[in-house]
Amino acid sequence: MRPHFHFTPQSGWINDPHGITYRDGGYDTFFQYVPGQTVWGPNCHWGHARGRDLFSLEELPVAIAPGEGDGGIWTGSLVTGADGKTRVFYTSTSEPDIGIGRVRIATPDDAEWISWSKGDFVVDAPAGLDLIAYRDPFLRQDSDGWRMFVGAGDRAGTAMALSYRSDDLQEWTYEGVALERSSAETADVWMGALWECPQIIDVDGRAVMVSSIWQADVLYYSGYAIGTYEAGRFVAERWGRLTWGDSYYAPSFFRDEQGRPCLVFWMRGIEDLDAGWAGAHSVPYILSIEGDVLVATPHPDIEQYREPGATGLAADITWTPDAAGLRLTSGGEDAATLELSGAGELIVRIGDAVHAFPASGEVRVIVDGPVLEVVSRGGLFGAPIAPRGDTLTVTAGDDSDVTVHPLAR
């Protein structure tokens, strides 16, 4: 069973989205891809897809593959410079030490970005930090030039975003640690021993660092910091957790057609191994800041797929949580149930698994075949589900405030 509105590979394994770009009336997106298998492997490629929006992506040929000095093509960033030239900055890895990558450039051979040529290695891990991990370059343009931030973790358990500066996107100077935090610190939220895909961005006039939380080869969740940023240095004022559950990881920042700040996540556990594919991407989210909280809201492009009276397993549901709860049923069995606890948490039950995460105000519930996403101002919860039939029934208490928008193409 495939979702209709969450991107999945035709075959093989996908994980991190990256390089999401709006141009020429549609979106290009790239992603880590391992063809021919349904488990991750270090020989990642850069897959490529395009669509008029991020709910209707069509997979294209592999953009960048291992070889020419690369054992694996891992996560990176895409920018277009003042010269009009598009460049990808990706993590090049080689065995046996795949944890310490190198940053390399690739450029497109054609206007459709189908074929790419590899260029120079431009950044290596700095000496003297005793690093165990180094990867995932993210670029932004500042008033004094380009900045690149690379995720890193040292042997002492400190997660870091390292800063580099360039005038021309070719020659880079290491500036030092942009932001760091020990895995021993737990104030506000625990942020792990390595930040994968750390991205320093601007949201509603505030500086935000968003990343994935890693420790000892365990992938946890997505967290963030809100603070101030200037000239390659970020000062955190508050730390927060953005996602709950075992599915969301590797958020990728982009700006949409209107320039709004957005994220897309890799969703783990969405797969059909018998059909030969594994991995999905979340719906896109628009970011905002309310008080000192980073809030993610489903991108309004999803609303064009609302079709009253449609039947199937996809719906966009608006619900005000209460103790009566919300039941999502397919084939006469519960696919998931949600209810508000006495402590004000949202309790999500999927089979025998019970999850809890903060609820605040109105909740959006997006169901798309085997995918469940629950959206609150308190954060995001995502998980795979297993519908038993080909239609979805939504049931709420008599006094519940709930609106169901079926989704269809």
Indicate if 107 and 228 belong to the same structural domain.
yes
What is the predicted pLDDT for the residue at 301?
Answer: 97
**DSSP 3-state percent helix, strand, coil across the chain (nearest 5):** 0, 60, 35
Residue 145 has pLDDT above 90, yes or no: yes
User: Which of 280, 301, 322 is the last residue before a domain boundary?
Assistant: 301
Quote the CA–CA distance of 245 and 268 in Å, as a whole number.
10
Indicate if 256 and 157 belong to the same structural domain.
yes
For 155-179, what is each residue's pLDDT tens digit?
Answer: 999 999 999 999 999 999 999 999 9
Banded pLDDT at 323 (limits 50, 70, 90) = confident
Indicate if 223 and 322 belong to the same structural domain.
no
- Nearest-Å Rg of the Cα atoms of the chain is 21
Banded pLDDT at 249 (limits 50, 70, 90) = very high
SS (H, E, C) 266-295: EEEEEEEHHHCEEEEECCCEEEEEECCEEE
User: Which 8-state DSSP code applies to residue 111?
Assistant: T
The stretch 172-194 carries a mean pLDDT of 98
Average pLDDT, the chain: 96
Indicate if 164 and 112 belong to the same structural domain.
yes
Assess contact for 135 and 93: CB atoms under 8 A.
yes
| 147-156, 195-204, 320-329, range with the lowest pLDDT | 320-329
For 85-136, what is each residue's pLDDT tens digit?
Answer: 999 999 999 999 999 999 999 999 999 999 999 999 999 999 999 999 999 9
Indicate if 162 and 230 belong to the same structural domain.
yes
Assess contact for 6 and 242: CB atoms under 8 A.
no
Any domain includes 152: yes
What is the predicted pLDDT for the residue at 150?
Answer: 98
What is the predicted pLDDT for the residue at 129?
Answer: 95
Any domain includes 5: no
Any domain includes 164: yes
The residue assigned the tokens 């141009």 is: 23
Indicate if 261 and 395 belong to the same structural domain.
no
Catalytic residues: 16
Any domain includes 3: no
The residue assigned the tokens 């997006």 is: 366
pTM for the whole thing? Answer: 0.97
User: Which of 285, 301, 317 is the last residue before a domain boundary?
Assistant: 301
User: Which of 251, 285, 301 is the last residue before a domain boundary?
Assistant: 301
Indicate if 31 and 100 belong to the same structural domain.
yes
Quote the CA–CA distance of 281 and 265 in Å, as a whole number.
6
| 6-15, 234-243, 354-363, range with the lowest pLDDT | 354-363
| 46-50, 296-300, 386-390, range with the lowest pLDDT | 386-390
CA-based nearest residue to 318, from 406, 240, 239: 406
Indicate if 317 and 263 belong to the same structural domain.
no
Give me the domain span that covers residue 374. Answer: 306-406
SS (H, E, C) the chain: CCCCCCCCCCCEEEEEEEEEEEECCEEEEEEEEECCCCCCCCCCEEEEEEECCCCCCEEEEEEECCECCECEEEEEEEEECCCCCEEEEEEEECCCCCCECEEEEEEECCCCCCCEEEEEEEECCCCCCCEEEEEEEEEEEECCEEEEEEEEEECCCEEEEEEEEECCCCCCEEEEEEEEEECCCCCCCCCCCEEEEEEEEEECCEEEEEEEEEECCEEEEEEEEEEEEECCEEEEEEEEECEECCCEEEEEEEECCCCCEEEEEEEEEEEEHHHCEEEEECCCEEEEEECCEEEEEECHHHHHHECCCCCCCEEEEEEECCCCCEEEEECCEEEEEEEECCCCEEEEEECCEEEEEECCCCEEEEEECCEEEEEECCEEEEEECCCCCCCCEEEECCCCEEEEEEECC
Indicate if 322 and 296 belong to the same structural domain.
no
Indicate if 282 and 210 belong to the same structural domain.
yes
Q: What angle do CA 319, 322, 324 make, to 5 degrees?
A: 105
User: Which 8-state DSSP code applies to residue 186?
Assistant: -
User: What CATH number does the domain containing 382 carry?
Assistant: 2.60.120.560
Q: Give phi and psi for 136, each to the nearest 5.
A: 75, 65
Quote the CA–CA distance of 366 and 298 in Å, as a whole number.
9
What is the predicted pLDDT for the residue at 324?
Answer: 85
Any domain includes 1: no
User: Which 8-state DSSP code applies to residue 125?
Assistant: P
Q: What percent of the chain is predicted at pLDDT more than 70?
A: 100
Strands 145-154, 158-166: pairing kind: antiparallel
The residue assigned the tokens 């959006």 is: 364
The tokens describing 279, both together, are: 């991995």
Banded pLDDT at 53 (limits 50, 70, 90) = very high
Any domain includes 221: yes
Quote the CA–CA distance of 94 and 68 in Å, as a whole number.
11
Quote the CA–CA distance of 91 and 102 in Å, as a whole number.
6
User: What CATH number does the domain containing 82 carry?
Assistant: 2.115.10.20
Any domain includes 122: yes
Indicate if 184 and 268 belong to the same structural domain.
yes
Any domain includes 144: yes
| 238-252, 293-307, 318-332, range with the lowest pLDDT | 318-332
Residue 398 has pLDDT above 80, yes or no: no
- Which parts of 134-247 fold into alpha helices (H)? none
Residue 185 has pLDDT above 90, yes or no: yes
Indicate if 89 and 223 belong to the same structural domain.
yes
Please give the tally of structural domains in the chain: 2
For 335-363, what is each residue's pLDDT tens digit?
Answer: 999 999 988 899 999 999 999 999 888 99
